[in-house]
Structure 1
């Protein structure tokens, strides 16, 4: 009798082995959700890193503009732009790479009545976009406020 019970129990286990389709769908949905969260965080982290690189490069450019002013008695004009740091008579103050933001786009430059304004057009590279970053006298400011109140 014991053998019969054992064989019956084994048949029941075999019938219940594996996962139901509903369990598999739930697990796949959970894994997909987790992957989506991870990918979005990784891609967002890349933009944050490039924004940080842009901040650092802009602050470095501000210092290089001060070096230019000390050597030449004035800041470069808007027309001369950041190119004047590369082509400075005597010793170049900056390299071409120094004049590019974290996304590889060239910084824009304007000499305002408040000082040199350095502008990164952000990830999309479009002037005046919501992604633009502005730096005036070593401070990161809202571009719309800065450009409205700082004429050349």
Structure 2
């Protein structure tokens, strides 16, 4: 003798069993495709914004160097030589004598956003000095992310 459940009870049991089975392969593939499409759309925008922020940080750091170099010049009467470099903003060069009133930066000289040292030249290509970040590749010249960012 087989027990038969009422029709309403059978449908709720069937629904419960269906819910216990999980997702089909097709449903999982649809979800993976949707996530992939979202990543393909959002990813490039995110990394483009990240590149813009790196350039903005480099420009801001170069601007801070410019202000510190101007303060150095007011005290010492000249800009640091290429040999003295940006380090003259943190440690008094022997040639500065008693006029040096630094340090002219609050923290140690930072690397550029790509992990390369800033380059300092005096005289510069366009003025009395030049502070340069060589961009992502760390080499002079370049375009796009590899373009140089200079103080003047």
Gaps of 5+ in 1: 1-18, 137-152
- Could you tell me which residue of structure 2 aligns to residue 112 of structure 1? 124
Tell me the matched-pair count. 136
Pick from 96, 111, 114: which aligns with 1:100?
111
Which one has a bigger Cα radius of gyration?
2
TM-score using structure 2 length: 0.64
What's the CA shift for 1:113?
6.3
Q: Looking at secondary structure, tell me which structure has more strand per residue.
A: 1
- What pairs with 1:60-71 in structure 2 (closer than 5 Å)? 60-71=64-75
Q: CA RMSD in A?
A: 3.7
Checking the alignment, whether the CA contact within 8 Å between 1:121 and 1:127 is kept in structure 2 is: yes
For each residue in 1:80-118, what CA deviation from the matched residue of structure 2 results, as whole angstroms up to 9, or x when unmatched? 211111113642112564442223321101122642211
Point out 4+ residue stretches in structure 1 off by more than 6 angstroms: 19-24
Checking the alignment, whether the CA contact within 8 Å between 2:87 and 2:109 is kept in structure 1 is: no
Quick one: distance in 2 between partners of 1:43 and 1:36? 11
TM-score using structure 1 length: 0.64
